[in-house]
Amino acid sequence: MSDSTALSLNRLPPAVLHVIFHYLDIPDILRIRRVSRYLNTISHSRQVWTNAYRTAEFVRPPGPFLWQSACDLEKALVCGFRVDRNLRSGQQLGVFRCVSSFDVEGRPFACAVLLDLKGATPQFSIYSLHVGEQSGVTLDLLHQFVSSSTFIESINFGPRVIVFQNDKGRRVLALDVHSRTEFLIPSIPALMEATGITEFLPMHYLPTSISTSTHVVMGRSYCSGDGRRTFFQAFPLPPANIQCSSTPLSPSHRGVIFDIEVFDNALLHDTIVDSSTKDVLITIRVHTRATGHLWKCEHGILPLSTDGGITFQLLGPLGQISRFPFYRPSGSFHGSGRAFIFKVAEPHGLISALDYDLRASGNDDNETKVAEYPRVVRCSSRHDLLDYDPYSGRLCLARYPKNLSPPVIEIVDLAI
């Protein structure tokens, strides 16, 4: 399969292709590029390809996100399509997110989470979503699980697992999108209560999940007599190439950090290991108290030390985009260093991009440089910023029609 001429398969009849792919080893399939579009049009070969994808080993994303200039971002193209037109009756679109993971072609893939209410027990289905050249949408089933709730309160996609939360954070499930393994995470509110922490922020604040390629870190901000604090609990993930049945994750690190708050999409940079201390270092975005009711958006390192503790090293503000309520970054999108903000500009809305350049040093200490690219996308109405895929350069938006019809998912292509 190393010979490039061996990849010219489009002249072979479907029956021959089916036999070839049935007996290929997984390493050979991983070397094949740009043939799945053709195979997906062949019904009896498609299942072989799907099975190969599901059993492939986890593939790490290549390198850091390539920074784009303002000129590049102005080239955004918007194409809208209805995801619901391919769904069966009785299913509802629950969540649509991009996952920073790769299929066997080496391309990032997106996921759709659907709720099936036809049976006695609500069932969630997770599909990989593919947009064809004619804007047609196909869904391939990845995983299903039952739930006592009819909706998911929080969902966070990381480089490896998807973290679901229900029941005010008391039910947490992490799903490995490659091995389709369920990892059960203990209730963070229960863990906090066991340590004597009983003062919480309003109950609509769910625990924050920071999902990396090696750990799931759960954080919960709460009130105390002398200010705000955040409780962190880390859970290591098993090796990526090991497939196992549903299993609970055991906590490995714990810590309480003073004077910071964390919210969803806190991850700025994936885990790295300190060569001297062997600590696992995670770069996250936090909020610190400024004056009055204003909070500054800052960043820092969250080390998971070898002794089981969690500390925090504040590095500084994220440039001029720092204070609420003037700017509300929608998220840092799983380590990409990029966020987007929505600004209302009657009668239209504007979406601007923010780049957190963690590798640069400012004039004042180690202040992270933030570049803002205004007017990346112009919207005819208010849109929900769902997610951003840093590897394909696509921004996902949701628009909910006024007539209560199913949501319209729009993909904004920011790729060069």
Among 40, 42, 21, CA closest to 32: 21
| Shared-domain flag, residues 406 and 349 | yes
Residue range(s) defining the domain that contains residue 387:
70-86+187-413
- Which pLDDT belongs to residue 236? 94
Position 137 scores a pLDDT of: 47
CA 397 to chain CA centroid, nearest Å: 14
Residue 48 shares a structural domain with residue 197: no
pLDDT at 42: 42
Question: Is position 257 within any domain?
Answer: yes
The answer to whether residues 233 and 204 belong to one domain is: yes
- In a domain? residue 253: yes
Residues 338 and 390 in one domain: yes
Examine residue 163 and state whether it is found in any structural domain, yes or no. Answer: no
User: Structurally, how many domains does the chain consist of?
Assistant: 2
Report the candidate in 344, 336, 340 with the shortest Cα–Cα distance to residue 373: 340
Is pTM beyond 0.75? Reply is no
Residue 366 domain flag: yes
| Judgement on whether residues 28 and 77 belong to the same structural domain of the protein | no
Residue ranges in the chain whose pLDDT is less than 50:
1-10, 21, 23-46, 48-107, 131-137, 203-204, 321-329, 331-332, 334, 360-366, 391, 416
Q: Is residue 82 located within the same domain as residue 14?
A: no
Do 77 and 41 fall within a single domain?
A: no
Q: What span, in angstroms and rounded, lies between the C-alpha atoms of 307 and 115?
A: 42
Within a domain: 153: no
256 and 317 housed in the same domain: yes
Smallest CA-to-CA distance from 18 within 38, 40, 41, 48 is with 48
Say if 134 falls within a structural domain.
Answer: no
| Structural domain contains residue 339 | yes
Residues 81, 26 share a domain: no
Q: Is residue 194 part of a domain?
A: yes
Q: Are residues 370 and 397 in the same domain?
A: yes
From CA 234, how far away is CA 255, in angstroms rounded? 9
Q: Which residues pair with 98 in a beta bridge?
A: 110
